[in-house]
Amino acid sequence: MGVEGTKLGQPSIYRTVDRLERVGSPIKLNVIDLLQKDSNEIDDADIEKICDAIRESKSDRIVIAGGLDNAIRIMREIHKRLKDIEKTIVYGGSNGSFYSNRKAVFVDNGVELAAAQMYPRGSFLIAASLGVFDIDDVERHTFGAVEHADVIRSIFSKKGALRDATGKVLNVPKFTAVDFGGTFGKILEYSANKIDQDYVYPNVGSLDSLFNDVLVKFGSFVGMTDRVVIGERIDSLLSDDSYRQRILAILRAIETKHQVITHGTDSMANTMCEVYQRGNMDKNYIFTGSCTPISEEETTDGYHSVGAAFAIISYLEAIEKGKIKKRPESNVWLAIGGLVLPYNEDIIKDNEGRFVRTTQEQHHKYLELNKEHLYYYKKNRS
């Protein structure tokens, strides 16, 4: 659902669809242009039209891209009409292409896609502010956009969320970002060294400003802990068993329950296996694809990955609070390009560069071949 008569251009979801197709993602999106209205102008007849489209869809995973001003009312009305439907329905802010120069919209798309994959059938959700909220436990706040004086932004939180004098939400899930390379890692590295990064955010400043100031402009509800570990950043093709042991030691030393880990994809499966077998079972390890931003398209992949990682945190928090009965298959997760997979010793990277499920036997053969390949690559480099 877009806004008729604006100059926002084609909705961002089309760029997401195009990118998923280019990388051969297993996520297939069928986009239906349903309405072109501001969310404040959507009436009961429009909501019934949305519900008809959901009923008629053959998919059991639905993402509604619409304006956020009236998102809660729209979703609650949809729930009244479809409360017994066995589908996962996620409402996410459209944003058009208005903020696409800062890629925040692609983070939002990653959150929406991941939520639709993970949450059980019968869920009615709002994916916004880098979180996923059940419609019975969400409230909307507004604030003026820093870079657009006449724009009012929406930020969502759970009901009764504590806020400070500036309006920042305080009682939010915490995570530690652990950087071993990739797009997410470059964001952290550039931010820590106060290097301008036009492909992400210009003049970001410090790590704290990146997550707690800059991203909050786009509705971030996830808080990064004060302690951020930036590991030794090397090409993952140069990694080996000793390097993975150092990674494991760093992760074990971090007390934060949720850890978002950026790692090069060439040896990611090997590192995930190490963490799965020897990590702390009381912690959650979320691996994001590197997608080193040598192009705008690959930067988009990276932001989809980061959005998916935040959706996983919301999902795990909902399980912990008993709102979702199903227990996760693993405490190690893969979030890459919007795709979400719990790791269970059966993920490999295929010849097309995609992460896919396979048999456990094939998985272990892949890990051994990957180790051999990495060994010879490192030897030739030296």
| 211 contacts 310 by C-beta, under 8 angstroms | no
Q: How far is the C-alpha of 290 from the C-alpha of 257, rounded, in Å?
A: 22
Low-confidence winner among 81-90, 155-164, 198-207 (lowest mean pLDDT): 198-207
Q: How far is the C-alpha of 115 from the C-alpha of 135, rounded, in Å?
A: 14
Question: Higher confidence at residue 63 or residue 267?
Answer: 63
Taking residues 63-71, what's their average pLDDT? 88
* CATH class label, 174-381: alpha beta
pLDDT-based confidence at residue 5 (cuts at 50, 70, 90): very low
Listed in sequence order, the residues at least 6 apart from 332 whose beta carbon sits closer than 8 Å to its beta carbon are 272, 275, 276, 279, 284, 285, 287, 342, 343
Taking residues 261-267, what's their average pLDDT? 80
Secondary structure string (H, E, C) spanning 68-79 = CCCHHHHHHHHH
Handedness of CA 75, 216, 313, 359 (dihedral sign): positive
Q: Which of 264, 262, 285 is nearest to 275 (CA)?
A: 285
Beta bridge partners of 36: 2
Q: What is the pTM of this model?
A: 0.84
Q: Which of 293, 111, 340, 265 is nearest to 189 (CA)?
A: 293
Per-residue pLDDT at 214: 41
Low-confidence winner among 99-103, 107-111, 147-151 (lowest mean pLDDT): 99-103
Per-residue pLDDT at 347: 86
Beta bridge partners of 65: 92
3-class SS of residue 51: helix
**Domain range annotation of the chain:** 12-157, 174-381
59-to-21, 85, 233 alpha-carbon distances in Å: 18, 12, 41
3-class SS of residue 142: strand
User: Residue 149 corresponds to which amino acid?
Assistant: A
247-to-162, 200, 256 alpha-carbon distances in Å: 35, 26, 16
| Cβ count within 10 A of residue 201 | 21
Q: How far is the C-alpha of 256 from the C-alpha of 178, rounded, in Å?
A: 11
Question: Higher confidence at residue 109 or residue 148?
Answer: 109
pLDDT at 72 over 50: yes
For the segment 336-375, what is each residue's pLDDT rounded down to a tens digit?
878 899 998 888 887 767 788 888 888 888 888 888 877 7
For the segment 176-217, what is each residue's pLDDT rounded down to a tens digit?
877 776 445 555 555 556 555 443 333 323 334 444 444 554
pLDDT at 121 over 70: yes
Taking residues 302-307, what's their average pLDDT? 78
Taking residues 140-148, what's their average pLDDT? 68
Average pLDDT score over the chain: 76
